[in-house]
Amino acid sequence: MSMTVYGATLSPFVRKVRLLLAEKGLDYRLEIIAPFSQPDWFFEISPLGRIPGFKDGDLALADSGVIAQYIEEQYPQTARLYGSTPAERARIHWLEKYADYELAPLTTFCVFRNRALNLTMGKPCNEEAVQEALTEKLPKHFDYLEKALGAADYFVDNRLSMADLAFATQLINLQHGGEHVDASRWPGLAALQARLCGRDSVKGVLPDECSLLAKLLARAQAPA
């Protein structure tokens, strides 16, 4: 097994790479690296210190999008998750970046961080910021994505792609923060998330994540 993913299991970007590897049926090793206070050697893999880091043999890469694109091209005999035409690839990359740069600041770095991560570290939850994200900021993004999905089961060519995995991984962190897509307002997105959570790739990581988060919360809430 030559591939190693470095990062924390609750990171949506680490999860994204792991889901892609699972969908492609590729073996890898996960080495836990916290998003803060990384060891010095990790900066040789990820110069900015961000997770995930990745190695395949002697090749070291950082950034989930770069890592995913490398895996897609390096292992062409596996399931194609970036489309088969230039138009499909462009659309998938756009939606992947939309999830990374528009959803992540709200689903992960606001809702999840405040409702879950902060509590594991004994920090307060900024519920005002959470409510602003849920009621004022996320709805416009969900409106756009609901329209982009339309009546299809998946975002691009009605087949599973990285666009769907990038969306799912952000919604999982939203779920870890106690929230879900409102199925009455965004039925397509809610159905898509349920469909994705039913895939073996997601079922392979989600139970351990939930168990870890529960343990971290219990430890933080235990009397000193």
Q: Three-state SS string across 90-128, please?
A: HHHHHHHHHHHHHHHHHHHHHHHHHHHHHHHCCCCCCHH
Nearest to 8 by CA among 64, 90, 71: 64
Q: What is the mean pLDDT of the chain?
A: 96
Nearest to 67 by CA among 115, 110, 6, 113: 6
Is residue 36 scored above 90 in pLDDT? no
The residue-averaged pLDDT of 7-23 equals 98
Is residue 1 scored above 70 in pLDDT? no
The answer to whether the Cα torsion of 14, 18, 19, 24 is positive or negative is: positive
Is residue 143 scored above 70 in pLDDT? yes
Is residue 132 scored above 80 in pLDDT? yes
* Residue percentage of the chain with pLDDT more than 90: 93
The residue-averaged pLDDT of 206-219 equals 93
CA distance to 28, 121, 126, 134, 158, per residue, from 20 (Å): 11, 30, 33, 28, 17
Is residue 213 scored above 90 in pLDDT? yes
Nearby residues of 100 by Cβ (< 8 Å), 6 or more positions away: 13, 64, 65, 166
Is residue 223 scored above 80 in pLDDT? no
Whether the full predicted model's pTM is greater than 0.85, yes or no, is yes
User: Counting beta carbons within 10 angstroms of the beta carbon of residue 108, is it exposed (0 to 12), middle (13 to 18) or buried (19 or more)?
Assistant: buried
Task: Return the beta strands (E) in the chain as ranges.
Answer: 3-7, 29-32, 53-56, 59-62
Is residue 81 scored above 80 in pLDDT? yes
Q: Is 84 helix (H, G, I), strand (E, B) or coil?
A: coil
Predicted confidence at residue 35, as pLDDT, reads: 87
Q: Quick: pLDDT tens for 82-92.
A: 999 999 999 99
pLDDT category at 118 given cuts 50, 70, 90 is: very high
The residue-averaged pLDDT of 102-107 equals 98
Is residue 159 scored above 60 in pLDDT? yes
Largest CA distance in the chain: 58
